[in-house]
Chain A
Amino acid sequence: MLLLYCYATGTFAIAERSPHDTLVVTSGTVAADTDLRPYVYSLTDKNNNLTIAQVADRSFSRNDHLFHGNKKNNGRVNNCWMQLHIRNQGSIPLSSIVFAGWHDFMYWYEKAVADTPRLLMATGLMLDKGGVERWNHYGFKVNVPPGETRTYYLHIINKSYNENPLIPKLYSEQGFSVLHDTQLDIYRKEAVIIQVLLGMLLVFFSISVINYVQLPDKSYIYFAAYILGLILFFALRLEGKPYQLSFFHRWPMLKYYWDIPGLLFCFYFMYLLFGNNFLNLRERYPFMERVFTWVSTVVGGLIIICMYCIAMEQYHLPTIIYSYVYFCTLIPLLAVFVALARRSRHHPLVRFFLYGSVCLYLACLGSFLMHIRPLGLLSALGELAAPSILLIAGVLMQAMFFLAGLSYRNKLVHLERTRTQELLIKQLNKNKELQRKLNEQLEELVKEQTTEILRKKHELEEQRKKQLETEYDKKLTEIELKAIRAQINPHFIFNCLNSIQLFVMQRDYEYAQKYLSDFSYLIRKTLDFSRRNFISLADEITYLNTYLGLEKMRFENRMEYEIIVDPVIATAELEIPAMLLQPYVENAVKHGMTNPQAAIGKLSIHFNQVASDMLECVIADNGIGIARSRSLRTLPKHHQSSGMDISQNRAELLNKMYNTEIHIEIIDRSAQSGDDSGTVVKVLIPQL
């Protein structure tokens, strides 16, 4: 303001104010810069349909409101014509430059007194394509020969809602180059700041993209989009300075295209989406989530509307939309901050979000306030996001806070993960411990059950053993009884008695008495032996002698027998199982008497000591042998005798009972050779 004031006063002091609409140059040169406002008459084309020919005939008037040293929001398309008369009263030709600022469309016409206007230059921010040296285009040449008067027309069309400063000035060559240098200087400073900002934003962008690749968290991508929006926004802001070509010179429309929608996109749409995701409002604060979603949806809609308006070249509409949005959201945004702040205790991420937001909020507000004084309320609104230092600082602060928040969020996620892992490990350890315990229990159980099973098995075996023993005893008794009966063949007894009867009837009393006493002895011994398990060999020999004697009597001396005892055998001491041999002897008698070839049955019994502890008893007869004896008997099968089987059983039983190895072998001699005949029974009795 001060500068402007000085500048203005300076101009007023130098220039001679003339009510006349013609600038008169006397010396042939002009001052470094001359304010042309007093000499410029203007005409506003409200319908945008005037041509140069028409304008030349129109009358122009003074309109100081047209000029402004700062940006100005016209709120409409500014289509104006300016008229300037210059007379050269000097002797040398006047050559100077008119500069009126940077505008969208500019047309520079020159008209000699009686001539038709001639287009000298057509330029403009929206008109120039690439490869244009802008200072040369925008500095309009004024060449007035000495003593002549020229009329110049400048047609300016500004479609943008914000019009760049518009003050026409006449510069000398030197003056113009000074202006060029100063402006470039300012621009460069600003460009450096913005480029630094862009660089930082690019770094942020890269970080967030890299982070997103590493950790697919949606808030990173929202943040990246937000940063990208800012980058584009500020990059386009460079374009706003028209001094030199920037990236987007090929599409000058872009600077309008981006401005308001860009603001909406960055500071509302992406900001809200990012906040929503970053703070995880869906779970943490569902109401706020709904608010954010709705507002961002509405803003999204507005962005589309703005783009449509820009495409339709209705540039002022986005401004109106933006100002409404700005003022409408100012207080609610504050309310949102407060609401979030109240939650910050339980939600540390809110702090980061809030600090960043408040930074930008204050920066914006500050920027706005800074612009109000030079620009006025409405223009200031348009320049809200102009890259002032304050705003840039705010944006950077916000971005940094957000980035810090994201890092913190990562940390939280990491912590959570670590905690979960620890919990998992703990749980796993617990499980392992549990498994170990279970295994131990199971093992114990198995052991117990195995022991139980073994015990049961043992019991069962014992029981079976007992049962077997009982059965065995029973069988033994039975067999013993059977054996005794078999031994004293009732046939023999009654036949003996029959014989005695015969002797009595034949009155052979002596014979009868002998027979009777022998018979009595035999019965007594039989009764005696049947009660004992072992008897001495001497007793056995006496018994067999008596028995064979009785048999011999029965068979009327048709048989002979001998009992030969090895003299080394101590018959009185040696013990053998009672009644073991009798059945074989009886059998031998029976078979020996049935051989038709041998008139006299011969029977021999040998007792031999075959080993120190083994007694052998051989009972041999000269009968027909077992095989033929069996074949002679024509009894039906069910009547087969089982006497020999019983004695075999008996031997086995005795072996089992007394743990001895009594072995019985029966040899059929007639089966071995035709000449020989008879049966040999070998009984091997081990000595205990």
Chain B
Amino acid sequence: MIKAVIIDDERNSRDIIALMLEKYCPEIKIVATASDCADGIAQIKEHQPQLVFLDLEMPDGTGFDVLTGTQPETSFEAVFVTAFEKKFLHVIRCSEVELILKPIDKESLLQSVALVSARIINNSSLERYQVLLENFHNGRHAAWQLLVPAANGEAHTIFLPAVDYLEAQLDNCLFRLSSGAVIKAERPFRYYVDLFSTLQFYQINNMQMVQLPNISQVDAGNGRILLKSGTVLEITERRKRDLLARLHQ
């Protein structure tokens, strides 16, 4: 049995989360609900839940405020629930914290609950929430940290600017760092392409995505990119012009 708290400013939202958990995840027990940040923090401190469903935008603050207000004396896994959130999407995804979009569909709810349940059972590290808050307060994603899920359920924390390029490897994604180190992520290449597309990254071919500030030179004649670390990558003809245009901005 996992103790859970739901914090959302809309009653309809709280009701439907509670309803769906009751229906599809009987192992989770709702111990309390709250309609704003202050109440949420108080409930968490009182009930010491293992899992918290957190709305992002509330009248008196955000879900991050709840996290900041309760950490580190209480430790719990969090699942963000939001109707529409672009602003904090990257921060949350980079730190591998679960996010469910409203209206909530059953599959994603089950998947997220399964994932956090496993973490709770395995007593996994809560480092991801530190990373999340740090990234949130840091603002500039050029200095972000990135949590990369590994095969055994563990995660590597890497400094985002240290990433030279990403490479697809079957269903996994390889992070090639400037130092030459390679980190394997238990996520598909496509996932990171979507996530990083609005950051300082550019997909140069079907298999690789490069971090723009780490490029030292674009050899347009031979369709090659030279990185500052010395690595040479190939770029397709179509993307070359696009890349040059982006670099010139």
Which A residues fall within an 8 A CB radius of B?
489-495, 497-502, 505-506, 554-556, 590, 593-594, 632-636, 638-639
Cα-based distance from A649 to B15 in the complex (angstroms): 39
**A590 to B57, alpha carbons, bound, how many Å?**
11
Q: Which B residues from 81 to 97 make CB contacts under 8 A with A?
A: 83-84, 87
**Chain B contacts for A501, CB-based, 8 A:** 16, 103-104
Q: Cβ of B152 < 8 Å from any Cβ of A?
A: no
Most buried by B among A501, A554, A593, A636: A501
Q: Which residues of A contact B107 (CB under 8 A)?
A: none
A633–B12 touching, CB < 8 Å: no
Q: Are B59 and A494 in contact (CB under 8 A)?
A: no
Contact residue among B12, B101, B137 (Cβ-Cβ distance under 8 Å from A502): B12
Contact present for B103 and A497 (CB under 8 Å): yes
Q: A501-B16, A593-B59 are contacts. A494–B10 as well, Cβ < 8 Å?
A: no
B190 within 8 A of A: no
Contacts of B60 in A (CB 8 A): 594, 632-633
| Contact indicator per residue, chain B 99-136, by CB within 8 Å of chain A (1) or not (0) | 00111100000000000000000000000000000001
Q: Which B residues from 199 to 246 make CB contacts under 8 A with A?
A: none
Taking a contact as CB atoms under 8 Å apart, the answer to whether B61 and A498 are in contact is no
List the 6 closest pairs (A to B, CB-CB), nearest first. Answer: A494-B83, A490-B84, A594-B59, A501-B103, A498-B102, A502-B16
User: Per a CB cutoff under 8 Å, which of A489, A495, A506, A638 touches B10?
Assistant: A495
* Residues in chain B near residue A635, CB distance under 8 A: 62
Q: Is the CB of B19 within 8 A of A554?
A: no
Chain A residues closer than 8 Å to B104, beta-carbon distance: 498, 501
Assess A632 versus B84: contact at CB under 8 Å? Given A494-B103, A501-B104, A502-B19.
Answer: no
Q: Contact: B102 with A497, CB < 8 Å?
A: yes
Which listed residue, A556, A590, A636, touches B11 by the CB 8 Å rule?
A: A556
A632–B38 alpha-carbon span in the complex (Å): 11
Is there an interface contact between B139 and A638, defined as CB atoms closer than 8 Å?
A: yes
Tell me if B13 counts as interface (CB < 8 A to partner A): yes
Contacts of A490 in B (CB 8 A): 83-84
Find chain B residues with CB under 8 A from A555 CB: 10
> Is B65 interfacial (CB 8 A cutoff)?
yes
Residue of A nearest to B56 (CB): A491
Supplied contacts A505-B20, A633-B60, 13 more A-B pairs, CB within 8 Å: A489-B84, A491-B84, A492-B83, A495-B13, A497-B103, A502-B19, A506-B15, A506-B19, A556-B12, A593-B59, A632-B59, A633-B61, A636-B137
Q: Is the CB of B87 within 8 A of A639?
A: yes
Known contacts A495-B83, A498-B83; is-contact A632 B11 (Cβ 8 Å): no
Bound CA span A549–B247, Å = 49
Provide the residues of chain A in CB contact with B139, threshold 8 Å. Answer: 636, 638
A498 touches B84 (CB 8 A): no
Q: Within the complex, what minimum Cβ distance (angstroms) separates A147 from chain B?
A: 166
> Could you tell me the distance between the alpha carbons of A501 and B136 in the complex, rounded to whole angstroms?
31
**Cβ A502 vs Cβ B15 within 8 A:** yes
A590–B103 CA distance with the chains assembled, in angstroms: 20
Q: Which residues of B contact A493 (CB under 8 A)?
A: 83-84
Describe A's contact surface by its main secondary structure: helix
Residues of chain B with a CB closer than 8 A to A556's CB? 11-12
> Which of B13, B57, B62, B136 has a CB less than 8 Å from the CB of A498?
B13
A555 vs B14: C-alpha distance when bound (angstroms): 12
Q: Which residue of A lies closest to B69 (CB)?
A: A634
The docked-state distance in angstroms from the alpha carbon of A491 to that of B88 is 14
Determine if A494 and B84 form an interchain contact, defined as CB atoms under 8 angstroms apart: yes
Please pick, from A491, A506, A636, A639, the residue contacting B83 in the complex, using a CB distance under 8 A: A491
Instruction: Say yes or no: A505-B61 contact (C-beta < 8 A), given A498-B12, A498-B83, A499-B12.
Output: no
Pairs across A and B, CB under 8 Å, 24 listed: A489-B84, A490-B84, A491-B83, A491-B84, A493-B84, A495-B10, A495-B83, A495-B102, A497-B102, A498-B10, A498-B12, A498-B102, A499-B10, A499-B12, A500-B103, A502-B16, A502-B19, A506-B19, A554-B10, A555-B10, A634-B62, A634-B65, A636-B137, A636-B139
Contact across chains for B19 and A505 when beta carbons are under 8 A apart: yes
The reply to whether A636 and B84 form a contact with Cβ atoms under 8 Å apart is no
**Which of A497, A554, A632 counts the most chain B CB atoms within 10 A?**
A632
CB distance from A277 to the nearest CB of B (A): 92
Q: Smallest CB–CB gap between A650 and chain B, Å?
A: 21
Q: Mark B162-188, 1 if CB is under 8 A from A, else 0.
A: 000000000000000000000000000
The complex places the Cα of A590 from the Cα of B9 at a distance, in Å, of: 11
Chain A residues with CB below 8 A from B87, complex form: 639
1/0 per residue B51-82: CB within 8 Å of A?
00000010111100100000000000000000
Shortest distance in angstroms between B102's beta carbon and chain A's nearest beta carbon?
4
Complex Cα–Cα for A7 and B3 (A): 192
Residue of B11, B12, B15 with highest tally of chain A CB at under 10 A: B12
Nearest B-chain residue to A558, judged by Cβ: B11
- CA gap between A500 and B61 in the complex, in Å: 25
Q: Which of B13, B59, B61, B102 contacts A634 (CB 8 A)?
A: B61
Most chain B CB atoms below 10 A, which of A502, A505, A593, A632: A502
Contact of B16 with A498 in the complex, beta carbons under 8 Å? yes
CB closest residue in chain A, given B11: A556
Complex: A489 Cα to B136 Cα, angstroms:
23
Q: Chain A nearest CB: distance from B88 CB in Å?
A: 8
A497 to chain B, nearest CB (A): 5
Q: Which A residue's beta carbon lies closest to that of B81?
A: A498
A594 CB contacts on chain B under 8 angstroms: 59-60
Contact assessment for B103 and A632 in the assembled complex, using a CB-CB cutoff below 8 Å? no
A505 B62 Cβ-Cβ under 8 A: no
Assembly CA distance A485 to B187 (angstroms):
32
> A495 CA to B12 CA in the complex, in Å?
9
The residues of A that contact B15 with a CB separation of less than 8 Å are: 502, 506
CA distance A638 to B59 in the complex (A): 19
| Complex interface: chain A residues within 8 A of B19 (CB) | 502, 505-506
- What separation, in Å, do the CA atoms of A505 and B103 have in the docked complex? 12
Q: Which of A489, A505, A593 touches B16 (beta carbons < 8 Å)? A: A505
Distance to closest chain B CB from A513 (angstroms)? 16
Which residues in window 18-65 of B have CB below 8 A to A? 19-20, 57, 59-62, 65
CA of A636 to CA of B137 in the docked complex: distance in angstroms? 7
Q: Which residue of B lies closest to A490 (CB)?
A: B84
Complex: how many Å from CA A500 to CA B62? 24
Min Cβ gap A455→B in Å is 35
Could you say which residues of chain B place their CB within 8 Å of the CB of A554? Answer: 10, 12
Chain B residues with CB under 8 Å of A497's CB are: 102-103
Shortest Cβ distance from B138 into chain A, in angstroms? 9
| CB-based nearest A residue for B61 | A634
CA distance A491 to B11 in the complex (A): 15
| Distance in angstroms between the alpha carbons of A594 and B38 in the assembled complex | 13
A499 to B104 CA separation, bound complex (whole angstroms): 11
State the CA gap A492–B59 with chains docked (Å). Answer: 14
Q: How far is the CA of A635 from the CA of B84 in the complex (A)?
A: 17
Residues of A within 8 A of B101 (CB): 494
Name the residue on B nearest A591 (C-beta).
B59
> How far does the alpha carbon of A555 sit from the alpha carbon of B137 in the complex, in Å?
32
B101 nearest CB neighbor, chain A only: A494
B13 surroundings in chain A (CB, below 8 A)? 495, 498
CB distance from B111 to the nearest CB of A (A): 18
Q: How far is the CB of A317 from chain B (nearest CB, A)?
A: 118
Complex CA gap A493/B12 in Å reads 14
- CB nearest neighbor in A for B19: A505
Answer whether A491 and B57 are a contact pair too, CB < 8 Å, given A498-B16, A501-B16, A502-B19.
yes
In the assembled complex, which residues on chain A have CB atoms less than 8 Å from the CB atom of B10?
Answer: 495, 498-499, 554-555
Residue on B nearest A503 in the bound complex, by CB: B12
CA of A639 to CA of B139, assembled, Å: 8
What residues of chain A lie closer than 8 Å to B84, measured between beta carbons?
489-491, 493-494
Chain B minimum-CB-distance residue to A489: B84
Contacts of A489 in B (CB 8 A): 84
Cα separation A635 to B57 with both chains bound (whole Å): 11
Residues of B within 8 A of A633 (CB): 60-62
- Complex: how many Å from CA A566 to CA B120? 61
B174 to A: closest C-beta gap in Å: 32
Q: Which residue of A lies closest to B62 (CB)?
A: A635
